[in-house]
Structure 1
Amino acid sequence: MTTVTSRTFRLGGTASNITVGAVAHGLMLMTWTPNPVSDEQAFEAIKAGVDALPSGTKAFLNSGEFYAIDWGTANLQLLSRFYAKYPEYADKTFISVKGGIRNGGPDGSMDCLRASVENIQRALGPNKKLDLFEPARIDPNTPVETIINNLVTLVKEGKFSHIGLSECNANTLRKANAVHPVAVAEIEVSPWSYDENQKAVISTARELGVTVVAYSPLGRGYLTGQIKSASDIPEGDLRSHFTRFQEEHFKSNWGIVEGLQSVAAKKGVTPAQLSIAWVASLGPHMLPLPGSSKSSRTLENLHAGDIKLTAEEIKAIDDILAANPVVGDRYFGGPPEKLHLWG
């Protein structure tokens, strides 16, 4: 086994005794796609990331109860098959799963959260325990204090070990953490998703000792420069519905990609690695979460965890972002409340 990464990361909150790789691994697009990848390819992508870590370090794997075109448990079933084939990898991985969605929206009731967690457990199978559970969005109709108390009950029952939040705002994170320590807050952070909401959550999380799991650090692939127009997005791909991936916005944001490509070339890294390193540079509590369905991409992403940006490089990126204001919303447009963002 060849270790290709050296930097590790200590999680926050109740998980502060757990060391993971400095770059997490998102699994969503292994199954939430019209053409899911084969088990063989998916398993190799996961194993490559685990095997590249120092001894005693776990790979942080991120899944969801609904990561499939039909909103089913295909992603968890994939993991179940993985652990059935490679049971020795159960102790080498830390599994975070989002759930708590009912009738197309978040539901923080005890009934929904219990049903969600038990559904996750069934799909994940007997070879791996759920390490961390996150409500995928914050239920606006249930006080966050009630949601956390419901989750604490499930933790005490032994259904999972740690509590996370997803798409929360800074005030919600503070309220939740006052009830029970929150291990992670999962929000979108990248060079083209970094506004006042992100900054507030990042600052509050650092103060509270909460890990920020930064999803889509590559701008859903846009910042890699490998998607050159809206027509490059495969039919049925979720991104084809997102505002920023419409042709008129696609072209307007291309200056960011060109700028990042220039900085990356000078440093001798890929634009993807530069974006991941930039996210990590925002604080010692930042855990970038890029997705990968290929072993080569998993290793490329992991290597970014060892890349340190100089003050001059960070300033160069900041200047690029200032000169190229992002056009388009993160998702489908409309008010954030409609999509339960920043709840």
Structure 2
Amino acid sequence: MVTQSIKLGGTASGIAVARVSHGLMSMSWTPQPVPDEVCFEAIKAGIDALPHGVKAFLNTADFYAIDLGTGNLEMLSRFFAKYPEYVDRVFVSVKGGMNVSSHLFPDGSYEFLKKSVDRSVKALGPLKKIDLFEPARIDRKVGIEKTMETLVSLMKEGKFDHIGLSECNADTLRKANSIHPVSVAEIEVSPFEYREEQKKVIATAAELNISVAAYSPLGHGFLTGQIKSPDDLPKDDPRLRLTRFKEEHFRNNMTLVDDIVRIAQKKGITPAQLCIAWVCTTGPTVIPLPGSSKASRTLENLEGGDVVLTEGELEELNEAIGRHEITGDRYFGEGIDVHLWQ
């Protein structure tokens, strides 16, 4: 059983969740969705490993499917239907507000956010209420003030209990929180991604008592050390579209992975657990958010939250992270980064 837990922020500050959360995207955003029973065992394993009174933090979205539909939420609905005793043992965070007809562009209008929330409520089903809803990206055409007004209105209608933001910058987070308490800010944090913007959001969140859900702490699996070449991935793996997995960047970025593997072996843990433990050190409200579709991986990730890095180990890892220049952008090199850090 894992031992570490953490309280959420904002209006959810009375809720204790696992020190490491569980991203569900990889279960369905793939050409061959993972079978229900495999998904269910991965989710159950994470819940069963927690102490009494600590909830599993599950992260999903209304577009986590290969067709950008609600398949991930529907899978979760089937899980609760089969295992209703787990309903009250999880905290479900749902991202939405992305217009799939416009290549996943953010739409923060009242009409679209309401449609996204209603779609999510319907897909998750009758047994489990959405705990937290967050726009997946900030729609700068609408502005954070209007977006927050809409989220507060929908929350007061009883559609979900808490408000989160994703890919926001520190100024936006502060402004949003002045309108209504934000419980979670979801941003990418990993040894690949720990730059000035991440540091500003983490510091602001700590000041305002907002949790930071640090997604992709393992660099989409790159940092686990188990991928030695882009050829190790299936031909239809969506990660092959990410610039860091392309041959011209892969070898360069592997040099940091080699150091992570070496430090992890010396400590007797996996590279994934080392990265997760390191992400935990970046701020007092930071919650690593790795994804997994296998029970063994869920447990490995959770155990990373119990790892304590000594001052010397942390110094060695930070030195390695600072020494290597990571190349390739965060996504596809096709301009999608324009929607980040709004």
Under a length normalisation based on structure 2, what TM-score does the superposition of the two structures give?
Answer: 0.98
Secondary structure in structure 2 of the residue aligned to 1:164: strand
In the alignment, the residues of structure 2 paired with residue 336 and residue 107 of structure 1 have an alpha-carbon distance, to the nearest angstrom, of 15
Cα offsets for 1:131-184 (capped at 9, x unmatched): 000100000101101101110001110000000000111111011001000000
Secondary structure in structure 1 of the residue aligned to 2:220: coil
The aligned residue for residue 110 of structure 1 is 110
The aligned residue for residue 98 of structure 2 is 101
Q: How much is the aligned-residue C-alpha RMSD, in angstroms?
A: 0.9
The aligned residue for residue 340 of structure 2 is 341
Residue type at the aligned position of 1:200: K
In the alignment, the residues of structure 2 paired with residue 48 and residue 54 of structure 1 have an alpha-carbon distance, to the nearest angstrom, of 13
Instruction: Establish whether residue 85 from structure 1 lines up as the match of residue 82 from structure 2.
Output: yes
The aligned residue for residue 183 of structure 1 is 183
Instruction: Identify the match of residue 56 of structure 2 among 44, 56, 59.
Output: 59
The aligned residue for residue 35 of structure 2 is 38
Instruction: Establish whether residue 71 from structure 1 lines up as the match of residue 68 from structure 2.
Output: yes
Answer whether contact 2:18 2:54 (CA < 8 A) is retained.
yes
Shift of 1:119: 0.2
Cα offsets for 1:191-234 (capped at 9, x unmatched): 01111111111111111111000000000000001111111122
Secondary structure in structure 1 of the residue aligned to 2:154: helix
Secondary structure in structure 2 of the residue aligned to 1:161: strand
The aligned residue for residue 237 of structure 1 is 237
Secondary structure in structure 1 of the residue aligned to 2:256: helix
Shift of 1:235: 2.0
Structure 1 consecutive aligned stretches of length 4 or more whose deviation exceeds 6 Å: none
Distance of aligned partners of 1:22 and 1:239 in 2 relative to their CA distance in 1, 3 Å threshold: same
Residue type at the aligned position of 1:67: Y
In the alignment, the residues of structure 1 paired with residue 336 and residue 38 of structure 2 have an alpha-carbon distance, to the nearest angstrom, of 36
In the alignment, the residues of structure 1 paired with residue 225 and residue 325 of structure 2 have an alpha-carbon distance, to the nearest angstrom, of 17
Secondary structure in structure 1 of the residue aligned to 2:305: helix
The aligned residue for residue 204 of structure 1 is 204
Instruction: Identify the match of residue 8 of structure 1 among 5, 8, 19.
Output: 5
Question: What stretches of structure 1 of length at least 5 have no aligned partner?
Answer: none
Shift of 1:336: 6.0
Q: Which structure 2 residues correspond to residues 1-343 of structure 1 after superposition, within 5 A? A: 4-102=1-99, 103=102, 104-333=104-333, 338=338, 340-343=339-342
In the alignment, the residues of structure 2 paired with residue 235 and residue 81 of structure 1 have an alpha-carbon distance, to the nearest angstrom, of 30
In the alignment, the residues of structure 1 paired with residue 215 and residue 288 of structure 2 have an alpha-carbon distance, to the nearest angstrom, of 6
In the alignment, the residues of structure 2 paired with residue 334 and residue 278 of structure 1 have an alpha-carbon distance, to the nearest angstrom, of 30
Answer whether contact 1:10 1:18 (CA < 8 A) is retained.
yes
In the alignment, the residues of structure 1 paired with residue 120 and residue 235 of structure 2 have an alpha-carbon distance, to the nearest angstrom, of 29
| Identity within the alignment, % | 60
Secondary structure in structure 1 of the residue aligned to 2:332: coil
Cα offsets for 1:222-276 (capped at 9, x unmatched): 0001111111122222211111010120001111011011111111100000000
In the alignment, the residues of structure 2 paired with residue 336 and residue 37 of structure 1 have an alpha-carbon distance, to the nearest angstrom, of 27
Answer whether contact 1:273 1:300 (CA < 8 A) is retained.
yes
In the alignment, the residues of structure 1 paired with residue 53 and residue 84 of structure 2 have an alpha-carbon distance, to the nearest angstrom, of 16
Under a length normalisation based on structure 1, what TM-score does the superposition of the two structures give?
Answer: 0.97
Answer whether contact 2:256 2:320 (CA < 8 A) is retained.
yes
In the alignment, the residues of structure 2 paired with residue 229 and residue 117 of structure 1 have an alpha-carbon distance, to the nearest angstrom, of 40
In the alignment, the residues of structure 2 paired with residue 221 and residue 326 of structure 1 have an alpha-carbon distance, to the nearest angstrom, of 15
Question: What stretches of structure 2 of length at least 5 have no aligned partner?
Answer: none
- Count matched residues: 339
In the alignment, the residues of structure 2 paired with residue 35 and residue 304 of structure 1 have an alpha-carbon distance, to the nearest angstrom, of 28
Secondary structure in structure 2 of the residue aligned to 1:132: strand
Distance of aligned partners of 1:297 and 1:337 in 2 relative to their CA distance in 1, 3 Å threshold: closer
Moved more, 79-88 or 326-335: 326-335
